[in-house]
Amino acid sequence: NIEQVMLERSQLEVTLAEQSHINGVTQDPRLPDTPPSSHTAQDQASPDDKSKFVGTDEWARSELEKRFAQAMYSNAELRETLDTLEHINLQLQ
């Protein structure tokens, strides 16, 4: 699951880099070019505004951030489960 997320992230970064190159943007795609507050305004936009937002650099960055957060949360849950199972294993020995 984590490998899949990392693969998707890499693919999105490549796509984002290609789009940036096509648009003549030389900024690193991993660095936000707008303040974080603008992302929340875009998340609360009407459906028509959101359709214009899809496919942009900001959208790709937002999707990457969401997927990364989900992966980190999933990783934390798995780590907690592993710790619990290791503790139970030690008790059973």
The predicted-structure confidence for 54-70, as pLDDT tens digits, reads as follows 778 888 888 899 999 99
d(CA 11, CA 18): 11
User: Who contacts 67 (Cβ-Cβ below 8 Å, separation ≥6)?
Assistant: 5, 8, 9
User: Who contacts 63 (Cβ-Cβ below 8 Å, separation ≥6)?
Assistant: 12
Phi-psi region of 86 (alpha: psi -120 to 50; beta: other; left: phi over 0): alpha
- Each residue of 27-43: pLDDT tens digit? 444 444 444 444 455 45
Q: Is the pTM of this model over 0.75?
A: no
d(CA 23, CA 4): 28
